Amino acid sequence: MNQLTECVAAIFVSVMLATPATAESRPLAPTPPMGWNSWNHFASKVDDASVRAQADALVATGMRDAGYIYVNIDDSWEGKRDENGFIHSNDKFPDMKALADYIHSKGLKLGIYSSPGPKTCENYEGSYGHEDQDAQTYATWGVDLLKYDLCSFQDIMAQAGSQEKANRLMIEAYSRMRNALRRTGRPIVYSVCQYGYASVWRWGDKIGADLWRTTGDIEDKYSRMAEIGFSQAGLSKYAVPGRWNDPDMLEVGNGGMTAEEYRTHMSLWAILAAPLIAGNDLTRMTPETVALLTNREVIAVDQDSAGVQGDRVGVEGQFEIWAKPLADGSKAVALFNRQDSWMKTAIMELHFDDLGCKGAVSVRDLWLHKDLGTFQDVYKVEVPAHGVVLLRISHR
């Protein structure tokens, strides 16, 4: 989007902020939301039984206790509207309130999905013209999070006549649902999904989104994960505690990447303070996948209470260094080797003065759970192709 368009978008946002809305205690997501979402593995085959099984698995595998508490039903739960316009779930979800009660009984929270357009991306019923009714229905069921996905609203935008008008309509539509959610009186986390259009990171906060997708869809392959993850360079200043950039859900455990590549995925998402929403079948995880998803030291980087998103601090060709300041004054530092796998391992150097650190620095490897010792000026380490070394560094 050019500067003029951004400027216009900013004006529209400030106009809409005049809309009165019931106060809510903010932030609803003081650290990046963690949980599971049905889309990446089940797509439109998700149903009540599979969601219950995933909730059970969150508990049984220790994922809930590691912080994964949202159980998010993505597209394809929607049924028809009744004669009064209220939405009902389809046959795959016979009783949404009972499902919510089940999820809550496990100490988990329920997320649901809709679109500001008339239809969702899978051509189910969207919320266009029914925002308040849908928000009320979600609140009655006991929903705790809404992912609101642009989908067919793009057709409405296409009729707008100009990019500025299209963006204004989109921002108004997202604002409308936030206000509808607020009017229910139930705290419902608002997860905006419009693939980053119109630089959403510049206005997502102003319309009351708790998180906003910054990219198109992830896929379970290294090239796409890396394309999305590394494209986040420069966005750190737009995230604050309770307002998160969302580079899409995790693919860890879905089988399309090596363990090394999934470690890169987790490390990068943790440095980015990204929502950690698993997208695999939690009932069939290898111990390796469980370990990848539940590494407490990696999760602690993502969930750090300072809520500062990390960013790229150095790049030389295919070698990148990213750092995230942490609440205790230490830094999480990730060294990424983006070379293709046939190039094999490379030695990377971390120069402490590039991070503003002088003198002796102690270094801990967060995947190995190992203190590596104290180093002066520089730390050198082998990093496998498509891989990462994730460190926590602190002054002695």
Residues recognised as catalytic: 149, 217
For the bound state, the minimum distance from the C-beta of residue 172 to ligand GLA, rounded and expressed in Å, comes to 21
Interface residues with ligand GLA (CB under 6 A) are 39, 74-75, 120-122, 149, 193, 217
Q: Which is nearer to ligand GLA, 71 or 334 (CB)?
A: 71
Side-chain-facing half-sphere of 183: CA atoms under 13 Å: 16
Q: How far is the CB of 46 from ligand GLA (least distance, A)?
A: 10
Closer to ligand GLA by CB, 72 or 289: give it: 72
User: Minimum CB separation from ligand GLA for residue 138, in Å?
Assistant: 16
In angstroms, the Cα distances linking 144 to 138, 184, 289 are 8, 12, 27
How many other C-beta atoms lie within 10 A of the C-beta of residue 206?
A: 17
Cα separation, 245 vs 235, in Å, equals 8
Q: Where are the alpha helices (DSSP H) in the chain?
A: 3-16, 39-42, 48-60, 63-66, 96-105, 131-141, 153-158, 163-183, 222-230, 259-271, 287-294, 296-302
Q: At its nearest, how many Å lie between ligand GLA and the CB of residue 76?
A: 7
Chain-centre distance for alpha carbon 80: 29
Output 138 or 352, the one with its CB closest to ligand GLA.
138
Nearer to ligand GLA, 75 or 251 (CB): 75
**Closest separation between CB of residue 216 and ligand GLA, Å?**
7
The rounded radius of gyration (Å) of the Cα atoms in the chain is 21
Closest CB to ligand GLA among 92 and 392?
92
Q: Residue 358 and residue 363: Cα distance in Å, rounded? A: 14
What is the distance between the alpha carbons of residues 357 and 354, in angstroms, rounded to a whole number?
Answer: 7
Mapped onto helix, strand or coil, the DSSP state of residue 268 is helix
What is the helix (H) or strand (E) element at residue 36, kind and residue range? strand 34-37
